Structure formats: C-alpha cells, structure tokens
Amino acid sequence: MIKIYNTQTHQKEKFQSVELGKIGMYVCGPTVYNYIHIGNARTFISFDVIRRYLEWRGFKVTFVQNVTDVDDKIINKAKEEGRTPAEVAAEYTKAFIDDMHKAGVKDPDIRPKATEEIPAMIELVEDLIKGGHAYEVEGDVYFSVRSFPEYGKLSGRNIDEMESGHRELRADGQGIEDRKRDPLDFAVWKAAKPGEPCWDSPWGKGRPGWHLECSAMSRKYLGLPFDIHGGGADLVFPHHENEVAQSEAACGCTFANYWIHGGMLQINSEKMSKSLGNFLLLRDVLERTRPEVLRFLMLQTHYRSPLDFSDERLAEAEAGLSRIENTVKNLQWAIENAQDIPSPLKTKPLMAQVKDTRNEFIVTMDDDFNTAGALGIIFGFVNDLNSQIAGKTVSITDVPVLRGAYAVLVELMSVFGIMLEGEEEEVQYPDAVVPLAKELAGYTGANPAQAVSVLLDCRTEARANKNWALADQVRDGMKELGLIIEDTPQGPRVSVE
C-alpha cells in the first residue's frame, strides 16, 4: 500500500488513483529564460524517481510537465540581449531538455508549451468569467479570490490575514492594485504592452497569467480531478494555491487529489542565490560529476527535507555508489569464475536475503518514497554480499543465487534511474519476455534482461523443488520467444536464436 504525504491535508494518506492502475501526474516545469540550476534539478529528479517508482509498481503513469515560454523574465532577458522573447525561450527550452537528458530524467509523456496552448487558456478564463469568479478591467482579467471561499486551503493560510503578493506597475505607471476590486485578486489574463508577445482574445490582445497556464494545461491533458500535482515547496503559495482556486472554481470539482512538494536545495547550508555567489548550474555540475553520483547524493535525503549540497557530500556519494557498483562487479566475477567445488557461501540465507531486500525496498518506498531508507536496505545487502563473496571463488551451485542477487541490485537501482551496467545487459532480449516472467515468476519490472534472469532463477528453483511442469513452462515459453536455455557447468545460459 503506497502512502503519500499530501501538502493539503498535512498527513500521509493511503494512495488511491482515480482510475484503477492509472495515474495522472502534473509537475510544474521551468520558466525558460536561463539554464536550470541544481535546485531545479533536485525537484525534477525527485519527481523522476517518484514517477519511475510508480511505474515499476505497475501503474500506467501519464506524466505532464509544462514549459513556461512566455513570461516577464523571458521578455526582460530578450530586451537586454536584443533578441525576441521567442528566440530566448527556444534556446533555453532546448537547453532544459538537453540538461534533463544528461541528468537521466525521463521525458514527460506530454510537454505542453504555454504559447501553444492559448485557446485552452482563453477557454478557462471565459469559464471563470461566466461563473462569476473573474472580471475584466480594460483588457486585464482578474480572478476574484473572495469568490472562492476555500482559498488558502492548500497553503493553510487564512484569507483575511493575507496581503496581496502582486504589486506590479503597469506600463502607464498606474498601480495594478488600483484596478483590482480586491488587493488579493490576481491576473489570469494580462492586456498586451507595446512590443510584447500577445494573442487575440475576447478581451483584446494579451497573454495568460502564469498561474492560469498550469490550470489550463493540466485540465486539458489529464482531466479533473487528476491524481498527483507536484513542484518545489516554494510553489505552494501563491502559484499552487491560485491553481487550485482557478481550477476548482471553474469545474466545481476537486483539482488534484495528492499534492507533493519537494524540499529546497541549499549549498553549504545556505540558500542558493545569485547574490551569495553560490549559484550552481546543473550543466556545470555535470561537467565534473557523473549524473548517477548527483542522483545518488539527492536520494540520500528524503524528497521533502531540505537538501544540503556540497563538494564533500558529492565525494561521499561517489564513494557510496562505487560500493554498490563494485559489488555488482564482484558478483559478475564470481559468477563467471565459479568452479565445481563445495560452496563457500551461506547459500540458504543469501537466497532469503535476495527476496527480503526486494520486499523491504518496496515497503520502504511505499512509505512516501523513502529513498534514503531504501538505499539503507540496499547497503545492508551489499555489505553482506561483499563479506560473503569478495575475493572468493564460489561453487557452480552458487551461481543461481548470485544471479538473483545481481538481478535484484540492478533492478532496484534502475528504479532510482541509476543503471548499473554489466555484461549481462549487453544482449538484446525481446520485450515479450517481460509478460512471460510476470506470468510464470511474478516479475513486476519492465526490463527484458532482468526478466530473463528472473525466469532462469524460477526454473532453477522449480527444478530443485521437482516442479518439472513449471520448469518446462519456463523453457518452452522462452523457446517460443527465440531464447534457448543451455545448462552449462556454470549454470544455465541463454542464447538468442
């Protein structure tokens, strides 16, 4: 049973998806006017791991992440550089996607750009006006905060104690405050200023407000209510509070069932900011660090806690990940060099440990994605394995259990987005072996190489238990997929026909 800490209710809740076996997930993307920093990367990596875990647990996840490609910051940068806002946005959108690929973050299923979704945004503003939740003033449209009595429920603020967070001046110098019916109201549509990007709308030329973008794009691609909405903790107020208000006011239903917010990344225990000179871009860190090591560092802290980044922690992460990688190499060596000798291992406890490690990993990650705890479990297993196999020649009878240990380490680390390369993964097995492993051996992952390994273990165990029918089912099922099992003195080997 998966439990998720929900910002809105301040407690861990049992997770239940709207549709059985499916999850709709929306995570706010970047405003593309600069390269992303490692704080942004922390949030995106946290949600990448959450998504990978939910997929590994068998959910079909639809992951939507927007790109905010029209915004004051983009317009200002374009002015400074004598370029168009579209040029600036295109450059940094590409840079963002490149950086995400370098960091091993999976692409979202849908990556809508604000500038390509204007009709959906206009439609939402129209719905709000029709419902009496928004009003127009000379081409601007404002959301009427007091028309939504539950305003403040996400961030736990009381509407009567709030001050307006929007003290902008218009081009004509008139304070926006003077134009709004209530200082708390915020813009959902902004009238065009000269020379700025704009689109036709029922209120004249203009562009959408930032908060509105996410409400419109999530509604369009996921439908309401959807399961999980995420972002960094700095977005809870006002961005997400405003998203809730607009979306729920317009549809009259719940917006998102679970709100997940990631903690902030700090550098040497200080806030990361340009003025403090401790501002690190993801691409610069990845010049000198393997992406797996950065990810490993991040996984050692729970996603909701503040994360302290420093060179010492990076070095510790390198050492920690190397320990796991070395164990995988040791396992490979032991498997390849097994001899026909009595086993020097405690094979029975090792077999139980392989299963326990996987089960404990699941229990720990089910508890609000406790990656730090799950890494602790993997470390416990790695320490035991090392003490048993390091520097030893093992028996050919140990090979199946060592293969199981290898498969479980590779599988669990891949859930974190860390691929431990090994020779075993070089062969390309057909995807159809995954459902076969699921049917015969209860495999829950999606990696064909691991599925083959799990099937081989299943057959070895079946033979040991004299369950010839199951052993034959495995061999015949694999043969149908062109995978031939050969029994060698080193254990079963698979060749692809």
- Give me the least distance between CB of 44 and Zn ion, in Å please: 13
| Residue whose C-beta lies closest to ligand AMP | 232
- Residue 402: name its binding partner from ligand AMP, Zn ion, none (Cβ under 5 to 8 Å by kind): none
H or E element, residue 90: helix 85-102
Alpha carbon separation from 49 to 80, 132, 266, 330 (Å, rounded): 37, 40, 20, 27
- Give me the least distance between CB of 28 and Zn ion, in Å please: 3
* Closest among 353, 256, 232 to 304, alpha carbons compared: 232
- Give me the least distance between CB of 113 and Zn ion, in Å please: 13
Residues that bind ligand AMP (CB under 6 A): 28, 30-31, 39-40, 42-43, 231-232, 234-235, 262, 264-265, 272
Q: For residues 204 and 306, which CB has a smaller minimum distance to ligand AMP in the complex?
A: 306
- Residue 18: name its binding partner from ligand AMP, Zn ion, none (Cβ under 5 to 8 Å by kind): none
- Give me the least distance between CB of 128 and Zn ion, in Å please: 17
Q: For residues 22 and 101, which CB has a smaller minimum distance to ligand AMP in the complex?
A: 101
- Give me the least distance between CB of 7 and Zn ion, in Å please: 14
- Give me the least distance between CB of 365 and Zn ion, in Å please: 26
Q: For residues 69 and 457, which CB has a smaller minimum distance to ligand AMP in the complex?
A: 69
Residues that bind Zn ion (CB under 5 A): 28, 214
Q: For residues 214 and 462, which CB has a smaller minimum distance to Zn ion in the complex?
A: 214
Q: For residues 210 and 381, which CB has a smaller minimum distance to ligand AMP in the complex?
A: 210
- The C-alpha torsion from 100 through 103 and 104 to 105, rounded to 10°, is -40
Distance CA 11, CA 17 (A): 17
Q: For residues 297 and 324, which CB has a smaller minimum distance to ligand AMP in the complex?
A: 297
Distance CA 335, CA 376 (A): 25
- Residue 446: name its binding partner from ligand AMP, Zn ion, none (Cβ under 5 to 8 Å by kind): none
Alpha carbon separation from 414 to 52, 73, 374, 446 (Å, rounded): 9, 37, 13, 10
- Residue 214: name its binding partner from ligand AMP, Zn ion, none (Cβ under 5 to 8 Å by kind): Zn ion
